[in-house]
């Protein structure tokens, strides 16, 4: 894991396996099946890093050889919140790793003209305020969608919020930090900039369309 000197709340997952998989994900020749598998795997690897600070409790286990003191999770409650629709691609890998996590959904799309997020769905676990929240979305571009999701969640009582993306633009990180305090952002890479249509450069194109084959 690497900290970016520009932002102390941003963690870049620089593990070689992550960087290798990300390169294949970016490739225009990668088809929808492989794209979905890579998004799932990258989300799982990212969640592994994002949960590094979870607390442990001592317990006693009897192995076939002897009794020993070991560690288990201290009952951390987690909520995984995908931003529809591309965030859906990241859920499965994370709940395989954290099967007790609850999943909420926030439906947002970017208006293609204004690039502003428009909410069309929101369903969250009732006890969201007691859970560590992992908002998941492959792309942090202008930051409008992520910032809106953080604000919805805060309005509904969420406290501990982490944002897991696969690619981030500097503009998106700045926007999240401007509008939302205390959010840790995990990403596999920070790209160069946004183009005139709000797409990340070099990026990977439209994550939702590549996941679901809609273009
Ligand atoms: C994409 C992506 C993010 C958003 C990022 O979703 O999955 O949610 O754009 O852009 P922003 O940082 O500028 O807000 P999109 O709106 O294309 O919807 P989709 O997931 O339904 O394809
Ligand atoms: N949404 C995407 O899917 N890709 C981008 O590059 C920006 C926003």
Query: Which-ligand-closest: CA of 106?
Result: 1
Q: How far is the CA of 139 from the centre of ligand 1 (A)?
A: 7
How high is the pLDDT of residue 28?
97
How high is the pLDDT of residue 110?
77
Ligand 2 atom with the smallest distance to the CA of 194 is 6
Q: Which residues 6+ apart lie within 8 Å of 204 measured at CB?
A: 25, 26, 138, 139, 166, 167, 210
Q: How far apart are CA 65 and CA 85, in angstroms?
A: 49
Protein residue closest via CA to atom 2 of ligand 2: 206
- Is 209 designated active site? yes
How high is the pLDDT of residue 5?
85
How high is the pLDDT of residue 92?
98
- Is 182 designated active site? no
Q: How far apart are CA 203 and CA 142, in angstroms?
A: 13
Q: How far is the CA of 102 from the centre of ligand 2 (A)?
A: 26
* pTM, two decimal places: 0.95
Protein residue closest via CA to atom 7 of ligand 2: 199
Ligand 1 atom with the smallest distance to the CA of 86 is 20
Lookup: tokens for 19: 């960087």
How high is the pLDDT of residue 108?
87
Lookup: tokens for 84: 């529809």
How far from chain centre, in Å, is Cα 86? Answer: 11
pLDDT in tens, the chain (215 residues): 788 889 999 999 999 999 999 999 999 999 999 999 999 999 999 999 999 988 999 999 999 999 999 999 987 799 999 999 999 999 999 999 999 999 999 998 878 888 888 889 999 999 999 999 999 999 999 999 999 999 999 999 999 999 999 999 999 999 999 999 899 999 999 999 999 999 999 999 999 999 999 98
Q: How far apart are CA 189 and CA 184, in angstroms?
A: 15
Q: How far is the CA of 186 from the centre of ligand 1 (A)?
A: 17
How high is the pLDDT of residue 2?
82
How high is the pLDDT of residue 48?
96
Strand partners, 183: 161
């Amino acid at each position: 894991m690497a900290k970016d000197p520009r932002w102390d709340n941003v963690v870049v997952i620089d593990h070689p396996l992550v960087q290798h998989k990300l390169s294949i994900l970016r490739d225009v020749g990668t088809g929808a099946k492989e794209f979905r598998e890579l998004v799932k795997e990258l989300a799982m690897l990212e969640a592994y890093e994002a949960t590094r600070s979870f607390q442990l409790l001592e317990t006693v286990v009897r192995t076939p050889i002897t009794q020993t003191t070991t560690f288990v999770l201290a009952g951390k409650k987690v909520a995984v919140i995908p931003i529809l629709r591309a965030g859906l691609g990241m859920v499965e890998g994370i709940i395989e790793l954290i099967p007790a996590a609850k999943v909420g959904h926030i439906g947002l799309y970017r208006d293609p003209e204004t690039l502003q997020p428009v909410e069309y769905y929101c369903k969250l676990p009732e006890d969201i305020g007691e859970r560590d929240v992992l908002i998941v979305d492959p792309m942090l571009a202008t930051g409008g969608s992520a910032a809106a999701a953080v604000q919805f969640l805060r309005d509904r009582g969420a406290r501990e919020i982490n944002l897991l993306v696969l690619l981030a633009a500097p503009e998106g990180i700045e926007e999240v930090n401007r509008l939302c305090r205390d959010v840790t952002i995990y990403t596999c890479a920070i790209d160069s900039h946004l183009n005139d249509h709000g797409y990340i450069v070099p990026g990977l194109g439209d994550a939702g369309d590549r996941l679901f084959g809609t273009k």
